[in-house]
């Protein structure tokens, strides 16, 4: 009988943040606390919502990786070619169906 040694894998704790990470101030959040604020009207609240939506949209658009000019041109040509082919195919099917219904 052979005796094999079983290895035990111990879970390692997550590494502690470095000194520079621990000293870094927390990241700012989008939600800001308003101090000394009186009741706001529905128009002002709606304007704030639109403003927040605009800023969020702008932030998301800055993250987009836009295609270069060559890729845009090639994909536009593909879309036009597929649209023309489908239009011709549907037009041919329509013409054939019209001829069949005229015979009936």
Name the DSSP letter for residue 24.
Answer: S
Average pLDDT of the residues of the chain: 82
For every residue of 44-76, which 3-state class applies, written as one string?
A: HHHHHHHHHHHHHHHHHHHHCCCCCHHHHHHHH
What pLDDT is recorded for position 41? 76
Where do we find the tokens 């609240």? Answer: 45
Q: What's the CA gap between 59 and 29, in Å, rounded?
A: 13
Q: What is the mean pLDDT of residues 43-65?
A: 89
pLDDT in tens, 13-30: 767 767 766 777 766 666
Instruction: Tell if the pTM clears 0.85, that is, is over it.
Output: no
pLDDT band at 72 (very low <50, low <70, confident <90, very high): very high
Residues 9/11/17/18 CA torsion (nearest 10 deg): -20
97 vs 22, higher pLDDT: 97
Contact 75, 67 (CB under 8 A): yes
Domain boundaries, the chain: 41-103
Q: What's the CA gap between 6 and 86, in Å, rounded?
A: 66
């Amino acid at each position: 009988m052979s005796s094999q040694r079983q290895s035990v894998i111990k879970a390692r704790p997550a590494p502690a943040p470095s000194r520079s990470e621990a000293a870094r101030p927390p990241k700012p959040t989008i939600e800001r606390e308003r101090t000394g604020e009186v009741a706001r009207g529905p128009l002002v609240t709606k304007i704030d919502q639109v403003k927040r939506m605009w800023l969020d949209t702008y932030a998301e658009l800055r993250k987009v990786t836009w295609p270069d000019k060559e890729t845009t041109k090639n994909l536009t040509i593909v879309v036009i070619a597929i649209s023309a082919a489908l239009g011709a195919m549907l037009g041919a099917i329509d013409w054939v169906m019209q001829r069949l219904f005229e015979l009936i």
